[in-house]
Amino acid sequence: MKLQVALDRISLNEAINQATKLNGNVDIIEIGTSLIKDYGNMAIEKIASVASKSQILVDSKTIDEGAYEFKQAFSYGADIVTVMGAASYQTLTACYEVAQQYNKTMMIDLLNLNHEQIATIDNFSQAIYLIHHSVDANEELSAVTEISKFKTLHEHIQRIAIAGGIDYETTSDLSQQGVSEIVIVGSKIIKSKNVIDTTRKFMEVLNV
C-alpha cells in the first residue's frame, strides 16, 4: 500500500517547502485543488521540480475539458491527475486516453456517486478509483467498511484509493485489510509538529 500526502490550503512557498521535506519519504505527493486554483500550473512545475523521488498527483477534479486539463497537468510534471466520476463518460474517456498516451495515471474521484452510478464507469482498468469522504458533509464513515462494501459490489476494480479523516488506527486497519492501493492523509501529517516523523510513523504502520 502506498501513502499519499495532500498539500492543500497552504501557500505555494509552504507547499514547496513541505514537498522538499516529503520528497523520497512518501510515495505520492498530492498538489491539492486549492493550490491548483490559487497558483495554476506553476504550482505543479515548482513542486515537481523539488520532488523527483516521489510521484506527483494533481487533484484538478476535472469535470470538463478533460483532454486539455490532463495534457497540461502531465506536461508540467504530474504523474497522476484526478477527474470527477460525475463528469460525462466522454470526459472520462478523454482523460483516460491522454493518461495512456503519456504513460501516466487517471484517478477517478467518486465523491457523491452511488454504487449504481459507479457501475457505469467501472471499466477503466488502469485507473485508480478514489473513495472520497466529503469535507463539507462532515461524514464520519468507516474506511475499512466502505472499502469492503465497495469490493463486494465492484470486485473487478483492482486499483482503489481512500481519503478522508485517515489516522494511524485507520491506516493500520486498511493495511491489514490489504485491498487499497493508496491511502491519502492530509492534515494529520501536514499540520503535525514534525512532518517527517509523522510521515515515517504512517509508513511504518503501512508496512507492518
CA distance 35 to 20: 16
CA distance 10 to 7: 7
8 Å CB contact between 64 and 90: no
CA distance 48 to 6: 14
Which residue reads 486516453 in cell numbers? 97
What pLDDT, on a 0 to 100 scale, did the predictor assign at position 142? Answer: 82
Inter-CA distances, 125 with 121, 133, 191, Å: 10, 23, 35
CA distance 129 to 159: 6
> Tens place of pLDDT for every residue, the chain, 208 residues?
999 999 999 999 999 999 999 999 999 999 999 999 999 999 999 999 999 999 999 999 999 999 999 999 999 999 999 999 999 999 999 999 999 999 999 999 999 999 999 999 999 999 999 998 666 655 566 888 999 999 999 999 999 999 988 899 999 999 999 899 999 999 899 999 999 999 999 999 988 6
Q: 57: closest CA among 1, 17, 19, 100? A: 19
What pLDDT, on a 0 to 100 scale, did the predictor assign at position 208? Answer: 65
Going along the chain from its start, the domains and CATH numbers come out as 2-206 (3.20.20.70)
